[in-house]
Amino acid sequence: MSKKSLISIRDFTKEEILHVLETAKEFEKNKEQKFLEGKVIASLFFEPSTRTRLSFETAINRLGAKVIGFSDATNTSQSKGETLKDTIIMVSNYVDMIVMRHPLEGSSRYASEVATVPVVNAGDGANQHPSQTLLDLYSILQTQGTLEGLTINMVGDLKYGRTTHSLLQAMSHFNPKFIFTAPEELKMPQEYKDFLDSKGIEYIETTSLDEHLNDCDILYMTRVQQERFTDPMEYERVKDVYRLEASMLSGVRENMKILHPLPRVTEIDQDVDDNPHAYYFKQAENGLYVRMAIISYLLGYR
């Protein structure tokens, strides 16, 4: 099998997406499948991330492979001025696969072109985070029984929020409808709306969280991420714009589930956590099975 990387959700066809989701179901049923014994996988986190790193490293361990790597770039030779290319080529020689997160956008694509082993992008700045997208799709599939013909209401930071952009691209295979709930400052960028127009996919834009709460199958909440803002005043204006509380959920569709890539801050009140519509903690758990499936697929084992 030739080297295949996962850098952007667009690297996977609809068939590959569905295949990985099916494989993830198997891993959810049986977490102990150590068929990667003897493999070594690098986990290169040039930027800190607790959730994604632990999820990937757990997935690697559950598959029986060993992990090498770092969780912070300050103690690496990058801090001595080594180029990304040299680091990646060097690590390529040691391992069977590289999982990397890097603050620069496009860094993972570049790494995949200089590496001799598959690269999985675990987040490149505000650009792509495809394993998050696949776990979002898996969560939608598991809660709705299908990916076809659903209405997804995306809420919060739709301008800088890469998870919403990638989810939109991935869902475009499955005849969705979208509702974009965002303040003026954080609206869905034009390029993504152009993309939907080109595919003939319907979307509605609103600034009010209440307006379409009862019209969706998936409520995809996002955090307004301070670290993505270049203008601190803009962040102050919009940081607390939406707050979902349990009392707002009385009229929602029965099948409706609330997703959130986590961490959440104030956008979902704690009183929602025990509500039957809340799914975000289970969603995070799903990340493990999906990452096991991604790694197995790229290494040619599933």
Partner 1 sequence: MTRKELVVSALENGTVLDHIPAENVYKALDLLDLKGIGNQITIGINLNSKAQGRKGIIKVEDKFFEDEELNKLALIAPQATVNIIRDFKVVEKKKLSMPKEVIGIAKCRNPKCVTNHQPIQTRFATVEKDNRISLLCHFCEKSTEIKHAL
Task: Looking at residues 65 to 84 of the shown chain, list those that interact with partner 1 (rule: CB under 8 A).
Answer: 83-84
- Nearest CB to partner 1, comparing residues 124 and 217: 124
Site membership for partner 1, residue 13 (CB under 8 A): no
- Nearest CB to partner 1, comparing residues 105 and 273: 105
Site membership for partner 1, residue 142 (CB under 8 A): no
Tokens of 103: 């603050």
77 forms bridges with which residues in the sheet?
none
Sole binder of partner 1 in the list 194, 211, 236, 245 (CB under 8 A): 194
Task: Looking at residues 278 to 297 of the shown chain, list those that interact with partner 1 (rule: CB under 8 A).
Answer: none
Residue 124 CB, nearest distance to partner 1 (Å)?
8
Residue 86 CB, nearest distance to partner 1 (Å)?
10
- Cα 220 from Cα 182, distance rounded (Å): 12
Site membership for partner 1, residue 8 (CB under 8 A): yes
- Cα 235 from Cα 230, distance rounded (Å): 9
- Nearest CB to partner 1, comparing residues 121 and 222: 121
- Nearest CB to partner 1, comparing residues 191 and 274: 191
Tokens of 32: 């102990």
Does residue 276 have a cis peptide bond before it, meaning omega lies within 30 degrees of 0? no
Question: Greatest CA span in the chain, whole angstroms?
Answer: 57
- Nearest CB to partner 1, comparing residues 83 and 146: 83
Site membership for partner 1, residue 254 (CB under 8 A): no
Sole binder of partner 1 in the list 4, 25, 66, 109 (CB under 8 A): 109
Other C-beta atoms lying within 10 Å of the C-beta of residue 29: 8
Site membership for partner 1, residue 11 (CB under 8 A): no
Asked if 76 and 51 touch (Cβ cutoff 8 Å), the reply is no
Per CB under 8 A, the segment of 67-75, 126-134, 206-214, 244-252 that binds partner 1 is 126-134
Asked if 260 and 222 touch (Cβ cutoff 8 Å), the reply is yes
Sole binder of partner 1 in the list 191, 231, 254, 274 (CB under 8 A): 191
69, 101, 111, 218, 243 from 139: Cα distances, Å: 29, 23, 29, 10, 22
For 147, counting Cβ atoms within 10 Å of its Cβ (0-12 exposed, 13-18 middle, 19+ buried), the class is: buried
Task: Using CB under 8 A, list all residues that contact partner 1.
Answer: 8, 83-85, 102-107, 109-110, 124-128, 191, 194
